[in-house]
Structure 1
Amino acid sequence: MTQTPEAGARARPVLLTVDDDPGVSRAVARDLRRHYGERFRIVRASSGEEALEALRELTLRGDRVAAMLADYRMPGMNGIEFLEQAMDLFPRARRALLTAYADTDAAIQAINLVDVDHYLLKPWEPPEEKLYPVVDAMVETWAASPDAAVEEVKLVGHHWSAPSFAARDFLARNAVPYRWYSVEENDGRRLLAAAGAGPDDVPVVVPPGGPALLAPTEAQLAAAVGLTVEPSTDFYDLIVVGGGPAGLGAAVYGASEGLRTVLVERSATGGQAGQSSRIENYLGFPDGVSGGQLADRARRQAARFGAEVLTARKVTALEVRGPARVVHFADGGSIAAHSVVLATGVSYRTLPTDGADGLTGRGVYYGSALTEAAACEDQPVYVVGGANSAGQSAVFFSRHASCVTLVVRGSSLEASMSHYLVQQLSEIPNVVVRTGTTVTAARGGDHLEEIELADGTGRVETVPTSHLFVFIGAEPRTDWLDGVLARDGRGFVLTGPELLVDGERPPGWRLQRDPFFLESSVPGVFVAGDVRSQSVKRVASAVGEGAMAVTLVHRYLEER
């Protein structure tokens, strides 16, 4: 690894270049140093392996990496393979691929495969026109992200502690870089002692430059790591409740069309889709995209248009106050707006199995829980469910586990899972599909140790496992709207034509028109995505409904 020797350079963030051609490597480092040398430390490597080693050293020192530029054609490990592995070390660093004209197809593939931000054609002369604008855009995006502010977050906990898992999952889903320390290791014990805490106080969070937090709430954790939790004002044009694909779509289109927009999310943007390891049927991503990457892009896009994103704020009530629509929070606060888009999605149903509740977060997980991937290395893993989310999770964990067993209550996968995913699962040798099977018990001490499986014949089998991931349908969780909005028998919110009974408008409807297609029984309150009755449970349709809801918001506001 070669780097500039200037004193004090370590404190500056890093621009990393990787190229096996010494002439090209020197040229790109020279051009970067000339333009960015005062603000950034330029590090160059001659291979993907050398660059990964350099990144590991940077993580140990707590350094920050703003951007990485990697040559596509390198022996041993090409640029795409390097950037894919580098994402695990510095997920918030911006990424660009250096490529010749003949390799532009590979560069475009990389944009989808590993979330590459840009590609640069070689040669890039003059750099003022072809290199610096691209690097400027990457640096600006990195600087606007939480990366620089929260790089040194330390999280101390116990692997089989449910609150510790919840804190790790919250940080990961919000794309906040953190370093994990186990209370069973020396570094973890030292951090606990420095914080004046003990093993029973986990999780302990040590943010950069701030006091240690002992077993913080999600709101306290969000504020400590630099996420926005407080609104900038008390009145908006549009409040979006829920940060899944539908909510993010509404926030992007609302803010881009000039509406003062705030998105309120109780946990992390992305919703259930954000927990997906790979979405392969979303338009425009032929090689698939992870739910986390898609959510991160949408969140940054909404912020760029001026939308506020509030995290760790639970909405508990909706109130109609004259022309205003008021949203109340669990902590007693509230905000108001001319209009509201409800995009709260659905939550996974809990497993109705003896012992499962007590082991939640300690071996039993709802959703993919991607932070558990390392702990599943060479271990047997069980996934419960027969729809796409369960299939995507099985594909993901098959790369880590010794065997992944998909436990399906139905007689086949074809009735509930997309064809491409059924085919993909059939081609993975360490994935086993058990149809006509249910989990009837979960047992363990401080963590899950075994589960009980029953098939349709009544045969019961006990199998050892420490990880059970559950995807067994979903519920809208809309009890907080009781008495305010009309819902169907399962709790999904009724909209548009569904509100008309024998041609009559819903009770209390005062406007001289029928409700718009996505409008609820309260004028100015629209519904998008999975929480809407009769919606199509797909990411693309949710995003479309979010955008459509904003169009209807404009029509509603024009009536006022």
Structure 2
Amino acid sequence: MTGTAHTTGTDLLVVGGGPAGCAAAVMAASVGMRSLLLEARPELCGRLRYVRSLENVLGGFASGPDLAASAAADVARAEGCRVELGARVVRLDVRGDRVVAVLESGASYTAAHAVVATGTGPLGPADTGWLHDPGGLAGAPLWEADPAAHEGRTVLVLGADRPLGTLLRAAPAARVRFLVAHPPADGYKTAEVRPDPRVELVSVRRVVLEGARRGVAARITTAAGDALRWTADAAYLNIGSAPVLLPGDLVPDSTGYCPPDRQHPRVHVAGDLRSARAQRIMTAMGSGGEAALRAYYALRGVPDRPE
């Protein structure tokens, strides 16, 4: 399969199998398009399965795993949609009237149009100017944390991004102390979690992680210039995310995101990859369906703005 280009019977490539990509595949099937969904993970909606509480989606879904299972089932029923899991796309190019997706394996697939829904990935300490973790003690992103595993313990949270509020809502009775160190720029994000008595917030200028007799320690210089030392049983990263870009013909803006109106007419961007301002499950799914419709109308020569 390595080095082989596959072109037969596909109108639309969908790169990314999160909520936006799944919605694109289902929409494409509903209008008779033949699609191929390429997802790097071993399952669809992999990150959604860690979201323990949902409050902003239709359909009565109370948790991410429930919605993920439903989305995967909808894709499985979508006529004309093929799915390849474990298919990591490493490059996307427009070549004439075709879009080519090159996989890590060396294989490639082509279609007339592509929906790109690669979303975002978590930032690491090296992406910040304030967090220093020479021993790699910070561990996993916060959205992977299980509060039940830390019952009665102290957790150090590095950054004040939205997953903290989601975790607190999902585990209202969990007896966990959360020590949250965040840069001043994240201060506006703390309003949601500040009233929770389990949370202690500090605005920081610098944090250095080091080993401790029990868990992890943090040497902190606060935004006011004070020195603190916190110890915790575990530490998690919660410093935000960055768009997952593909080399080739995607066009990012100055922030690294890919606005739909800047892309080649055969490349349709959906989901969190579009911008940092609308990163919600509902908006991702809607944009996935819209992106597939744009490809459908383009294939039939229907202009975006009818005259």
Larger relative contact order (C-alpha < 8 A, sep ≥ 6)?
Answer: 2
Q: CA 1:368–1:456 in structure 2 vs 1: closer, same or farther (change >3 Å)?
A: same
Corresponding position: 1:279 with 2:54: yes
* 2:267 counterpart of 1:492: no
Identity %: 27
Matches of 2:272 and 2:135 in 1, distance apart? 25
Q: Is the 8 A contact 1:529 1:535 kept in 2?
A: no
| Structure 1 equivalent of residue 141 of structure 2 | 366
Which runs of structure 2 are paired with 1:413-452 in the superposition (5 Å)? Answer: 415-416=188-189, 421-422=192-193, 426=195, 428-429=196-197, 431-437=198-204, 440-444=207-211, 448-452=215-219
SS at match of 2:178: strand
Structure 1 equivalent of residue 17 of structure 2: 243
8 Å Cα contact 1:398-1:404 kept in structure 2: no
- 1:97 corresponds in structure 2 to none
3-state SS of 1:462 partner: strand
Structure 2 vs 1, CA of residues 296 and 266 (structure 1 numbering), >3 Å: closer, same or farther? same
| CA offset digits 1:446-488 (Å, max 9, x no partner) | 995222333222222222223222221221131523xx23221
Which residue does 2:66 correspond to in 1?
Answer: 293
Deviations 1:279-334 (A, max 9, x none): 2122343xx62222212211111111143332222111112233221100111111
Question: Is it true that 1:559 corresponds to 2:298 in the alignment?
Answer: no
Give the aligned partner of residue 22 of structure 1: none
Cα distance, 1:345 vs structure 2: 0.8
3-state SS, counterpart of residue 364 of structure 1: coil
Gaps of 5+ in 1: 1-230, 500-519
Query: Any unmatched runs of 5+ in structure 2?
Result: 303-307
**For the structure 1 residues 234 and 329, does the alpha-carbon distance in structure 2 shift closer, same or farther, using more than 3 Å as the test?**
farther
User: What does 1:330-409 correspond to in 2, within 5 Å?
Assistant: 330-351=104-125, 352=128, 353-355=131-133, 358-359=136-137, 364-370=139-145, 372-396=146-170, 399-409=173-183
Name the CA distance, whole Å, in 2 between partners of 1:340 and 1:530: 16
> In the TM superposition, what whole-angstrom CA distance separates every residue of 1:160-214 from its partner, at most 9, and x where no partner exists?
xxxxxxxxxxxxxxxxxxxxxxxxxxxxxxxxxxxxxxxxxxxxxxxxxxxxxxx
1-structure distance, mates of 2:169, 2:103: 38
Equivalence for 2:102: 328
Out of 459, 469, 494, the position equivalent to 2:236 is 469
> If you compute each CA radius of gyration, which structure gives the higher value, 1 or 2?
1
Describe the shift of the 1:240–1:411 C-alpha distance in structure 2 as closer, same or farther (beyond 3 A).
Answer: closer
- 1:401 & 1:439 partners in 2: Cα distance? 28
SS at structure 1 position matched to 2:225: coil
**What value does the CA root-mean-square deviation take over the aligned residues?**
3.1
Kept in 2, the 8 Å contact 1:364–1:448? The answer is no
Task: Tell me the distance in 2 between the aligned counterparts of 1:434 and 1:336.
Answer: 49
Q: Which moved more, 1:263-272 or 1:242-251?
A: 263-272
Which structure has greater helix proportion? 1
User: Does 1:536 find its partner at 2:303?
Assistant: no
Corresponding position: 1:480 with 2:255: no
Cα distance per residue 1:326-348 (max 9 Å; x no partner): 10011111111121001111112
Partner of 1:459: 226
Number of residue equivalences? 292
Over 3 Å counting, the alpha-carbon distance change for 1:234 and 1:292 in structure 2 is farther
2:22 counterpart of 1:256: no
TM-score by length of 1: 0.47
Cα distance, 1:533–1:457 mapped onto 2, change above 3 Å: closer
Structure 1 pair 343/265, CA: closer, same or farther in 2 (3 Å)? same
**What is the distance in 2 between the residues matched to 1:438 and 1:469?**
18
